Structure 1
């Protein structure tokens, strides 16, 4: 027989008497019956006619709860949720009925929810556990689930009801608090001072690592114990007394005390601040102590006090001048160095003001410096001073303001330093000029190489064509003109290298007059239209030296003469022959050895030189020209080239009377070895049937040289690369007499190729060809004495050089 159902009022009273939120919720909950129809829980309390009232009360209770609430049947399907649950999930409350957690939650969370539901259904016990739940905004929130079983009239579990508590903000606050506490703890642990906290009874509550080292124990060993547990009785009593005094003072109390670390590793003087700690009600909760090691600080104070006397001694013996002045710049104190720098005695300085020592030009700058020290407290200037003897000097003066009416100045005599600095700057500028000339020289060397290669092809092809053309042929004259123009162009290239001092040194016997005449054209262009160039050839004779060096000597002397002329003027180049029987009475530059000399002189009608200028004439970097118009290396180069060839110089000059430079070169009693006109001669040094290995990476030059050599009767094995040359050398090692090779090539350079070929057969001799400058040849390892044929060359030069190398003993 069914139990009589209660009235709505009785149901309300039962709810009011419920001991917990879950109990209230249980009173109004329904569970599914065996036939699948929902019936009120505790069916014995009410029958079907009371369901409406119960559900009405249940809904009102659930929606009034701000926390999300839900209830499910044994299959895990939602029977209902409250308004807070629906708002949290972002769906209407009715949308959850009949669904499971797999329908409304991410898979990984649904598995956890379902597993906990099954556990509750099995054990029938209430659950409280932490988890996570995604809200309507998609944010994963930290939550705590409170779940309880729903039982039927027979006491069997028919479902569950749950309340969700969102603890995200609480967790975040706890994490922030933990981080803050961790930061504060790290801060305390990092501070090198000793820090500790005691309660009113003197029991340690906390401490940092430095305090642990002081007591020689870990924090966990210190907490809960007192000073007496670690220190001797007297020291413990001392600390306790100061704890009491700090508490009585009601605020921080400072004292100094010597502390000895328990393990004896350190002792020092510490400044200790003890501060009483109070709660909100004003009750003493403990004493915070902080001890800072002031041993070094105290020692510093003592050192400062002891250093005052040293300071006075230092001022008197300082290596720079020290002045103390007042607001009117009168000197109140000066040290010994200030007296030495100025030349005044101390009494004389104290009777003067600082401006009295300045040169007039520095007064405005000194006034500006004093204004600066008044405004900013310090100033620095480099000013001109005059000594007691009137000698101008340059001082660096640094001033600081000691008080509104006292100023301290430090002065150094920087005259010598500034002079040395100016000299270094001049040397630096000279070096820059030298480097610029070196760059120009490298450029000239590279350009000359390219021209030499092209001119080599032109000159060679012209000679080949001439050899195949009858003199009566009209083309024969044209070809001679082509050859002549190519030879002159090659000479211009050689002169370009001479100006750049990059020409490979190749001494030969020269007719001095013919060599000078060959350079007159370029000298006219170099000197300009305002300068008249006169050439007076005498018995110049023959000398043995590199023609490029002659060109360079003449060019430098002419440029120097041109620069000595203001506007329109005249330069005279002359040659002569002289016999020196004894050392000259006039000054000479170099070593004058008695003997026969060819004399090359260059004179001008410029402004001339005084004796002081002549004494520095050939010094490197010495120049009388304005900055940017000379390096000071021209005459030094002339001196080096002349002395290198066992010659010497004489200079006649006076202000307003111009200058004459005479270059003395040893006379060489032999006929010139090379025709200077570039016409070439008959090819007489012909082949004796030898086999030559020719190596050149420029195909046009390779073809021309091969034809020329074959025209001389040689058997020529031609190779365009070092690799091909080595292969030919191996195959014809018994036949090849001479390797004729370019210097700069891919794969390996000429020197390396020569070494490789001579390792195949040591009887093979080597002749290098190159259009590069001397510095490039040196970089490629070509020694100065190596047999070298400078590009471009004529067929006669080629024939002579090849024959010369082949005929070497």
Structure 2
């Protein structure tokens, strides 16, 4: 409520203090006395302007009456001085009749009134008193109004409650700072012009009330997002708040509404607190109703005033039958006396108590219960009664008995387990609360070791270094809290003069305690078996690595497990590069070989042997795969043995070549010599039958030439004796050509060898004869030849060895004939023999040069017959 100073309705004269100024002493005194005696004014006098100013500076007057004419000044000058000093006390000028100019000057200089001298004294002073009263009353009313306005402004500006001022049309004209803060606006200008009657958040019922001139009050949820959506005004706030709104119509007279005053209070926190209190109360009631144990409240007289449904069921009565009753109304006297005695103690000495009792419930059964009671105090610590809860512990008692029985059962089991079991702590020091006999037996320690916990390490580990290491590791693993670290395998237990044993141990923390369940088991047999197995594996490893063949162990899907030493060396790979990869991928294939012993063995579940050539390895292999089956007949792994028979195949080929060489040599020699012998026999007969000595001599000479041809043929045979004497092998092409160059007299012809020294072919050493033949043929038939060049190129994985010259070349029609036996001017055996030598070793030769530009012989070496 606002308290504003009321306006004075009437001024009491004895409260009016005036100053009368006149330089005529008699007039001054008469005026003072008349005003005091007739009108009860409080009057001070001043005989001059100077004296008046001094009194005005010291005193507060309600009015000043000054004569116009005085010796030291006049009323107008004095008025100016008073006003210039900032004094706004009402001033009345005494002046004579006919001095209208004085009256005008007086008003111009701030006078509040004047009185004409010369009228009838009574009426003159009555007029003066009236004017004094009027001026003082108006002045005091103005001061009261200013004071009231100041109070209202202070309240309006400083009020924590938002205030809105609307005109009679419901248009907002002003708001206080609290409004700006509550509604998130920058200044009153932001909301001026807002229509109260168009406010979407003003309920219709309340709108009708204020239009009828009635004060209305309501609560509402104010939505700032709706304000922004409808663009009612700009606001910094968002979301919703709860507001208490009071709208008071401001009425002038009896019915005229001049405006509306709105008070708005943010009650969001209050509403939330009320709702929270209600929810807490509902939650508490609901919680009590859901508690399965009986809960009750008694007042200071021991009467039950509140309880939950469980309590009703406990006593077997309804709520109406319990409220206001005491325990003596439905409990046996012996029980009631005991309960009452406990309640009186709680009411006399506030505290909490618990005690067990055995009661018969409404269902007639005896149950073990625990009464938990406490003194209920209010916020001022005044005793309000007793609250309690009854806990049925019959099942707990039964469970405890079962637990004791189970503990005895478990202990019996633990004592007879083949492993060691103990319950112990690790921090702050190791201690044992339980252990079975095997715990001592497996660790090989006496009972006394557990009686001196910190010395148990000395009992278990005789080796100081091992003892310190195991103790440090165990404590660190326990402190880590990582269960995976609290497992220790293959701990050696050594005793002087005794065989070492091995144990494994594990500890599991017991929740909500610092205890562990520690188990230990003897793994000595396993360790000994592992030692023997390791020794056996080492023997097997040695046997495998001693086998020159490749031994591969793989899964049925061809993924490799391992190779023996020969396998890794031949492949040039390590175990890490091989393990888990398909065998065929190691030679660059994307799928198994078409002829695969492992695939067939997995399918047939039998040992399978195949022989095949592997071009990627350039080797002939015998693959023997042995499937290892489980008890159900399923293939678990495949053991594959790869035997390299490349040398044997080459030897077989060399034997075949030798046989071909022998047959070729025998047939060729026999045919040539027989033909020549026939010619000799023919010339011999002609020489004998012709009497002409010259002709006989000619026949004899021809027979000699034929004999020379036999000698040449036998010489050829001598060359051929070397063909097949040496086994075929890898020969350096560069070295062979260099050796052939030394057998030919090339004269000025330049022979260039551009073959790489590292290039090798698998042939009979007599291949040198092929290159010497090519050189002799070029020197003999090249005519214009100046140079011979040897080079090699790779073509489709094959090797082409080129011998070319810059001679006259070979006509097209003779390119095939030059390899025939007997072709040409000489024996005709050279190129024929060269082709035969090459063909027997799997090579071939052809001439592809251009006539007139030189001869070009190309020797084709198939893949597998050459390397670099």
Q: TM-score, normalised by structure 2?
A: 0.38
The structure with higher relative contact order (CA 8 Å, sep 6+) is 1
